[in-house]
Structure 1
Amino acid sequence: MSQFPSLEAALKHFFGYDNFRHGQKNVIEAALQNRDILALMPTGAGKSLCFQLPALLKPGLTVVISPLIALMQDQVDALTDNGIGATFLNSTLNLDQARSRIQSIFNGKIKLLYIAPERLFNEGFQHFLLDVYQSIGLAGFVVDEAHCVSEWGHDFRPEYRQLTHIRRRYPQTPCHAFTATATQRVRQDIIDQLALQNPSFHCTSFNRPNLYYEVVSKGSKSYTQLLTYVRKRRGQAGIIYCSSRKKVDELADRLQQDGIKALPYHAGLADGLRADHQEQFIRDDVPLMVATIAFGMGINKPDVRFVVHYDLPTNLERYYQESGRAGRDGEPAHCTLFYSAGDIKKAEYFIELKEDEQDKRIAYQQLQKMIDYAEGSECRRTIQLSYFGEQFLGNCAGCDNCQNPRPLEDWTIEAQKFLSCVARCRERYGMAYIIDVLKGSKRDKILQNKHHELSTYGIGRDRTKDEWKNLGRSLLHQGLMLESSDGYRILKLNDLSWEILKKQRQVNIPIERRQTAAEILGMGDNHLDAEILFGELRQLRKQLADANWIAPYMVFSDATLRQMATRRPRTQADFSLISGVTSAKYQRYGEPFLAAIQEFCATQAPPKPQVNGTQLITFQLYQQGLSVIEIAKQRNLTAGTINEHLATLLQSGEAIDLDRLVKPEAQAEIEQAIATLGPVSLSQLREHLQEKYSYDAIKLVRAKLIQQSA
């Protein structure tokens, strides 16, 4: 690394970024010390850079073992487009292509070689690897998707178990294992199977702060809800997950009929058609994919702006992984679950198809945790992260429950009743049974167990079952009570439970649902001009990507384009300061983007309106407290003309109190329409608002927003 004064300098040189993401630098430093590594880094944490940058800074070839041909091809394309020496060897290449790439490796032009695990054990490849080791050296082995090594992982690949043979042949060559999620059992299995020697262990938080999580109540007109949701995000890349192939086809067809560019994706489609749909999605030819869970792993598209689950997932881990395909570039993205109680029966149907009773029990428990998430009132992140054993204190400001929290109430006495009932039932039952005892149920099982004789029997009749259920969930989510993980969901007390029973701890729980953030859309930054430029830069990116036969994000990421739209660099020096711009990127794409930005600044930036004499007279009368009608009457002008004056004054920054002119609730609704439709005509805005408000009201609100964004 002697040619770079710091790791940050190397990062900027090769990848154009100024700073590392959380956790990246520690992994890279361990790699540069030639240590074995096990790193758990969730989607979006930037794990690829953690082995790519060390490979560029160390002598020799780094071999990356990846299970997915499509994914390795995407990564190699992105690296080569950035001027970095990388290639792959797999079954898609003919003999001449493979020979040419091998020659480039021995000529020192390649630093990263991607291969599938099957090829690694091919006899010819073993000879090639030995030649590399003896001539140019092996910098390290990287095992991507390392959970595939373990039979306890969720995607076990038997061929991965053979990787231990490579470690025996090259014991001095460090091995770096990366995966997104792994239980303690899987982690140990990875270490054992890959024979990692005193590995440097890294586990970044599962929290994805750029993702906004919300649950929307799915009504009888669920398709209309979805259509409205998608139209608000027109042009953005998104994925809609459905529970069945039939629903995927029906939904994709319906969206197409309503003018939405969407394609279906599921295992029932022909391989060629599936690959074509995926290619169109990655290249931004079609922004929306309607899919089953067959779509996801290996989809290297960082700029997915929203993920919708139109049906209830069967477990929280799956939901975390699928929703996490949004916002991998670190930019804001939405994760929305459409939920209704009717979805539970559909999920239970699939569980009942399982033959093993233990599998069924665990599946039901996992489903219940998913229901708890959907119906929960605590911070969505608190619920998610507690599932993975990570504590999060709530108030994330990035979910519907935190943005629009229910008011808290002191339920300490009710919590004491609940926990006392758990204790008196000797911690042998689940939540439904405890609630039945509290409610004084005459179920046979309660009578047989003589639990109707307990002092807690019937002491909860004053609360509904749903209220008790809400309390029970809240106790679990806050860590004030535990639950067994054997599929039976037995409630257990912990130290905090006893603090409550001993009156040493207070319990507050949320008790009332309010409108979700999906229903109360904010305006964000209101930089309408920046959004227009961002849209134009995305179109230019698409043109350049098509001309070079690459995916648009390989040109520049959305985050980089947003910086361009905000900063508007006019020179090469300024342009090079944008995060994600390397010298190679500038040489290839810089000039067209600079030209587009300069043209926009020259022709699109609206001048600040000049206030003339007649408008100043209106302003003086307004300052005296006169209404619009009174000013119009005194000046012998129409009310529309006076409102036009006031809109100009607002936009120019004069102190106009908009609340005097437009009711605050009307302002909020008009702002929402402007946020949804963007820079469109007044008539389009009024039509969207169903002609509920006048042109004058819309004009005044828009003038205020333009002034704020200036």
Structure 2
Amino acid sequence: MSSPLSILRQVFGYDSFRGPQAAIIDHVTGGGDALVLMPTGGGKSLCYQIPAIARQQAGLGVTLVVSPLIALMHDQVGALREAGVAAAFLNSTLDWPQTLDVERRMAEGETTLLYAAPERVVSERFLGLLDGLYAQGQLALVAIDEAHCVSQWGHDFRPEYRQLALLAQRYPGVPRIALTATADALTRADILEGLQLPSAQVFISSFDRPNIRYHVEEKKEPLAQLLRFITQEHAGEAGIVYCQSRKRVEEMAQALAQAGIAALPYHAGMPADTRQAHQDRFLREDGIVMVATIAFGMGIDKPDVRFVAHVDMPRNIEGYYQETGRAGRDGLPADAWMIYGLQDVVNQRRMIDEGDAAEAFKSILRGKLDALLALAEATDCRRQRLLAYFGEASEPCGNCDNCLQPPAVWDGTDAARKLLSTIYRVHEMSGLTFGTGHLMDIVRGNATDKVRQFGHERLSTFGLGADYNEHQLRAVLRQLLATQAVGVQRVLQGDGRAFDTLSLGASARPLLRGEVPVLLRQASAPARRARKPRRHAPAAAAAELDAGAQVRFINLKAWRAEVAREHGVPAYVVFLDTTLAAIAERNPATLADLAGIPGMGAKRLEAYGALVLQVCQERI
């Protein structure tokens, strides 16, 4: 059996491990169970791929990789095959003869890693195949990717993942490794319990993604704000825009396309073939912007996503972290940009409050939403806040919006008391509750037809907040919702239409008494962000190359695109941009010059070395 380090060098073309990779790989190769938390782009896949290769060399058989998405399986299997590793997948894209061929090669020991979805893994037919391998001592390892899907507390719970616990009962002695980029303490405990991994060693890498810049601003004109962000800072670059609803996805994608941006929609309501075509374009073409619901993204390995934008607030920090982590997997500068507003908070709180879950479960969901809102409203370093949520201490990053342009702060305690008093007096007078717009009209002294209809201009709080603008009052209401001083209820009208109403919550009393201050960021007009100098070209990996190396890099990218088309894989599966940039900078003349370049393993050197040299030696 080769050592893990020699496998890393020979197969994957890298000289050394990063962070806790070496310890994880040694533990799992030796037969230990593990739970691995490592940020996106941190090298999680090597933590089971190298043990799989090592254990297969030792005669222990095939490694099963449980993966939730077909696109992820295809990318990882394609990359492994490019590196000379015998990998395969079983999914719905294969016809019956192809399926039988994969199963035969697995049974005959010709496969090192086999990828399959959890639904297939727990099927009787598949379990029968595993039974046969286990009986022959040829089931080397089980790797469960995206393991947060096991947990009911996670942001992407999938019931079929819970069934994977049967692997522990059915195949005792086979080591298992569960991996995820996102899990707080509660989710980690649930993963260990749900997968029956009581003795697993837990490896927690830093959650920090220093190459990602976090920026959050108040939602005012969503499309205009998004267009300004993309056109001014990421023109021609690949990105993902997340929206809460399918309708909003369609509208945003169409508007971006009309503005000349190569944007495509993606959501679960689209025909499957259209979704697949859009995903393929995003993975294989440069500069595509995918506008999507959270149905898109998990397991997407595209390394050169330069931004992730949220035009609606996610449900919790775990979801936000997982989604923003899809930017900058190549380690180059990337942006996580989000806009949010009062209606986002109202909608999220209402969905929690009106759900069918037990109150204890709802309380945890509210806490997770409140933590995300606290991150959005923060006036200090956002990265510090984000890392602290996952239990990691850090210093101010100097690279988020708050560090680069510290916001002004104002005392919203008086405004909060006036809003709470108005909610109380409206209910006392009318026996009804009303929505945000009506309450703000009362506080600001706007005698609208609706205000006069209910006689609310006679309330003692009418006009008391005339010196506050709408943006300020909305910011105060967001805080009141976050602290559960205000609750949300959906009311059905006689015509079947529904609207959200506000009522006093459990923590309203100390605020009404002025015992708890409400400090808020100063609302301001949208302005172009203060920025540090940074490199953001479509060829970001090659930004510091000289003129000759830039030309070699462009030629190498064109050659790589042809190879990728021939092999039916995304270009980054053949070589990463960072590898091409290193080749272009070295300007190799011999195969020996290519050896040792990060990402240039033995199989790739054998398959592509002569062609790479030919491209590099073309006349400039």
Range into which the TM-score falls when normalised by the shorter chain: 0.7 to 0.9
The one-letter amino acid paired with 2:329 is: R
The 3 A distance-change label for structure 1 pair 510 and 314 is closer
Q: Report the CA distance between 1:13 and its aligned residue.
A: 1.0
Is the contact between residue 240 and residue 290 of structure 1 (CA under 8 Å) also seen in structure 2? yes
Residues 504-529 of structure 1: CA deviation (Å, up to 9, x unaligned): xxxxx999999988444625576573
Superposed displacement of residue 470, structure 1: 11
1:150–1:486 Cα change, 3 Å = farther
d(CA) in 2 for partners of 1:350, 1:558: 39
Secondary structure of 1:47's counterpart equals coil
Aligned match of 1:385 in 381, 384, 387?
387
Per the TM alignment, residue 136 of structure 1 is displaced from its structure 2 partner at its CA by 5.4
The separation in 2 between residues aligned to 1:441 and 1:231, in whole angstroms, is: 41
Q: Decide which structure has the larger Cα Rg and report it.
A: 1
| Cα distance in structure 1, aligned partners of 2:420 and 2:569 | 65
Contact 1:266 / 1:295 at 8 angstroms: preserved in 2? yes
Q: One-letter code of the match for 1:102? A: E
- Return the offset for 1:246: 3.0
Counterpart in the other structure of 1:20: 17
Equivalent runs, 1:202-213 vs 2, <5 Å: 202-213=203-214
Aligned to 2:31: 34
Match of residue 546 from structure 1: 565
TM-score w.r.t. the length of structure 2 is: 0.74
Partner of 1:352: 350
Which whole-Å CA distance do the structure 1 matches of 2:374 and 2:131 have between them? 54
Is residue 183–residue 390 contact of structure 2 (8 Å, CA) maintained in 1?
A: no
Partner letter of residue 562 of structure 1? A
**Could you say what secondary structure the match of 1:8 adopts?**
helix
Offset, 1:347: 4.4
Runs (5+) with no aligned partner, structure 2:
426-466, 488-504, 509-519, 536-542
What does 1:482-501 align with in structure 2 at a 5 Å threshold? none
Question: 1:178 maps to which residue?
Answer: 179
CA distance in 2, matches of 1:537, 1:121: 43
- For 2:522 and 2:342, locate their aligned partners in 1 and report how far apart those are by CA, in whole Å: 23
Which range moved further: 512-521 or 84-93?
512-521
**Map of 1:145 onto structure 2:** 146
Work out whether residues 265 and 290 of structure 2, in 8 Å CA contact, stay in contact via their aligned partners in 1: yes
The answer to whether the 8 Å contact 1:37/1:199 transfers is: yes
Contact 1:63 1:142 in 2 (8 A): yes
Deviations 1:319-348 (A, max 9, x none): 222111111232322222245xxx322442
Helix, strand or coil: the match of 2:16?
coil
Give the letter for the 2:381 counterpart: C
Does 2:299 correspond to 1:288?
no
Tell me which moved more, 111-120 or 48-57: 111-120
Instruction: Give the deviation of 1:234 after TM superposition.
Output: 3.7
SS where residue 155 of structure 1 aligns? coil
Shift of 1:159: 3.2
Structure 1 segment 269-280 matched on structure 2, within 5 A: 269-280=270-281
Distance 1:193 1:562 in 2: 43
Q: 1:556-609: per-residue Cα shift (whole Å, max 9, x none)?
A: 11222232344433432222222111121123333443333333xx53xxxxxx
Candidates 522, 537, 544, aligned match of 2:533: 522
**Contact 2:185/2:390 (<8 A) preserved:** no
Decide whether the 8 Å contact of 1:404 with 1:515 is kept in 2. Answer: no
- Partner residue of 1:233? 234
Per-residue displacement from partner, 1:10-41 (whole Å, max 9, x unpaired)? 21111112222222122111102211112222
- Name the SS of the counterpart of 1:383 in structure 2: helix
Letter in 1 for 2:592: A
Give yes or no for contact 2:184–2:389 (8 Å, CA) kept in 1: no
Alpha-carbon deviation of 1:532? Answer: 5.6
Change (3 A) 1:512 1:178: same
Q: Secondary structure at the match of 2:165?
A: helix
CA contact (8 A) 1:81 1:554 kept: yes
Change (3 A) 1:260 1:385: same
| Residue of structure 1 equivalent to 2:53 | 56
User: Are positions 1:104 and 2:105 aligned together?
Assistant: yes
Partner of 2:252: 251
Distance change in 2, residues 1:156/1:247 (3 Å)? closer
Tell me the CA shift for residue 186 of structure 1.
3.2
Q: Does 1:580 align with 2:599?
A: yes
Question: Structure 1 residues 222 and 148 mapped into 2: Cα distance closer, same or farther (>3 Å)?
Answer: closer
Measured in 2, the distance between the counterparts of 1:484 and 1:42 equals 32
Residue by residue, what CA displacement relative to the aligned partner does 1:228-254 show, whole Å, maximum 9, x if unpaired?
A: 634653442211223333332233223
> Which position in structure 2 is the counterpart of 1:76?
77
Gaps of 5+ in 1: 415-431, 447-462, 475-481, 492-508, 604-710
Partner of residue 5, structure 2:
8
- Structure 1 residue matching 2:45: 3-state secondary structure: helix
- Check 1:289–1:80 CA distance in 2 against 1; reply closer, same or farther (3 A cut): same
Instruction: Tell me how far apart the structure 2 counterparts of residues 284 and 142 of structure 1 sit (CA, whole Å).
Output: 30
The answer to whether the 8 A contact 1:352-1:360 is kept is: no
* Residue 161 of structure 1, CA deviation: 3.1
CA, structure 1 residues 97+252, in 2 after alignment: closer, same or farther (shift >3 Å)? same
Could you say which residue in structure 2 is the equivalent of 1:563?
A: 582
Question: CA separation in 2, counterparts of 1:484 and 1:310?
Answer: 24
The separation in 2 between residues aligned to 1:123 and 1:197, in whole angstroms, is: 26
CA distance in 1 between partners of 2:533 and 2:367 (Å)? 36
* TM-score normalised to structure 1 length: 0.66
- Please point out which of 348, 373, 377 is paired with 2:375: 373
CA distance in structure 1 between the aligned counterparts of 2:101 and 2:42, rounded to whole angstroms: 34
Aligned-residue RMSD, C-alpha: 4.2
What number of residue pairs does the alignment pair up? 537
Determine the C-alpha separation between the residues in 1 that align with 2:534 and 2:566.
Answer: 36
Shift of 1:467: 11
How far did 1:295 drift? 1.5
Q: Aligned partners of 2:243 and 2:420: how far apart in 1?
A: 38
Higher relative contact order (CA 8 A, sep 6+): 2
| 1:200 corresponds to | 201
- In the alignment, which residue of structure 1 is the partner of 2:515? none
**1: CA distance, partners of 2:328 / 2:390:** 20
